A and B are shown apart, each in its own frame.
Chain A
C-alpha cells in the first residue's frame, strides 16, 4: 500500500517537473539515437532524393532543378532497361538456385553426425570470403583457354565453353558464382530452422507412413521451414539485386552489355561519367525495389505457419 502511494507521489512530482520544463524527458533520452539515425541514414537518403531532381554532376559549380527529367530518361534509357532485365534474370537464377540448394544441403548436413560442424564451415567459407578476390579466382577457373574447368571439359572430350565472352552464357556464369557465394549462408539459416522442428513430428510422420525422403520433405520439413524459406528468399533476393563485385572484376558489363546490372550501371553513371543527378534517380529507383521486396516479406510472412 505504502509502495503504491510512494510511486504515485513520485509520478505526480515527475509530471509537475515535466510541465515546468516543457519537455518530455523520454524524448530527451531518445535524442542521441534519433540524431545518429538522422545523420547516418535519413539525411543521405534525403540528399539523394533531392539530387535525383537536379542535373548536378560531381564537382560542378552550377546546377539546376530539372523536375522528373532524370526519371523520364530512365524509362527511355535502353541500357537501363537492359540492366534491369539482366539483373532480374540474375536474381531469379541466384535466388532459386541458392535457396533450393541451400535447403538440400541443410537437409543433408543435418543428417550427418559428427561431421556436421566440418560441413558447416566448408560451405560457409565462400560467405565469409571477399567476393572481389574470389571473383578473380573464378575468372581464372572459368577461363576459356587456361581455366581448369575448361581443361576438364576438354579432357572429357567436349567443346570448350567460353563462359565470360559468350553473351548468352556470361550472366549464368556470374549467377553460378553468385549461388556459390550465397548457398552457405542460406544453408546455415535452413539448418537453424531444421533444428527447430520437433523430432516427434518426424516420428508421427513415420507412423503415418510419411517416412520416405520426398514425403518427409513435402509434408513435414518444408512446410515447417516456411518462415525460414521466406526469410531466406528475401535476403537472397536483396543480396542478389546488389550484384556488383563479380561484374566489376570479371566482365565489366560485357560482352555486349549482357552482364550489365543496375549497381554496375549506377557505379559507372556516378563515378565514371559523374552524372550524379541521373545516378541519384537510379539509386532512388533501386531503393524502391529494395523496400518493395522487404514489404513482400512482411505480407508473405502472414501466410505461413509460425509455430
Chain B
C-alpha cells in the first residue's frame, strides 16, 4: 500500500529499557566457534552490549510504566486517549489482547479502541500507519502506540545466528491530529512467499509446544536451537534488506517529491551494523544521517528499535527543532517492509528511561 495522511504528528516518544545489561564477550562461550571468529563477528555486526528483560517481564508492565511517565510529565491527559494500539510478537498472553490489559490499568474511557497487531521489525511502521488510520475518526483524541518485544525469551542461548543480535525494549508513542498542515507519506509491502525466512516453528496451533519441541538440535553452522525458538535464515533476510528496502526508499522519495538531501535523518530498524552500513552505502546516504549504533549499545529490539534509535540519537533535536524531515524505515518478519516520510520535531516529550515499574502477578 501507499498513502498520504494529512496533518498528523508524533507528539511524544518514551522508550522503556530493561536494566539488565549483557555483554557479547560474556555470552560467546555458548557458541561453538573459536574466539577469533566470534570477535570478528562482533566487529562486523556491531555486537557489544545489549539490554535484556527478566524472565517474566511483559510488554504491558513496561508500557504501563511508560504511559505513567507521560501522564506525570503532562505530555498526556487520561481523557485524551482514544485508542491503544499494541504491536508485538511477544504478547503477555494469547488471550486477552495486551492492549485491553493496558487500558484496564488506567482510567481510560470504555470507548477506547484497543487493538493488537502481530508484527516485528517493521512493527513501528505498521503501527504508525494504523495509528494514522484510526486518527481519521478520532478528532482531538490521541492514539497510544505501544511497540516492543521480549524476543530474547524466544532465542536459543547457543544460537550464534540470532542470540547476539536480540535485545528487549518497549516504546510508547503519542500520535495525534495537528492543526499544522503537513503530509505523511507511507508505504508498506509484504512478501508472504518468504514468510518462513524468520519464524518460530512451535507454540501455535500448527505445532503446539511439547517436551519434543523444547529439544535443541544442531544446524549446519553448529548452532543449537529447538522448535520453540526463533529460526532466522540470515542469508535470505540479508538479501531482502539490501535489495528490496533501498528500492522502496527511493520510490517513497519520488512519491513525496523529495530528494535524499531533503531528509534530515533516516531512522531505520536496527537490524545489525553490517546491514545498516550496506543500506546507507546503497542509498548513497552519509552514514551519520542513518544511525547504526543501537545494536552495540542495546541490541535489536524488533518493533521498538526505531523509537530506541530516535530517543538515543536525536532526542534533543526532536524536542527543540520543528519540522525536521524524517524517513522511518522498518523491515523484517512477514516478510514485511515499510517506510514513512513525515515532519517531526517540537515534541512534548522524547526520552529513554530504565524500567522501574511494577511487575504484576499472573491474573492480577
Asked if A and B are interacting partners, one says no
Show the binding face of B for A, using Cβ within 8 Å.
Answer: none
Binding site for B on A (CB under 8 A): none
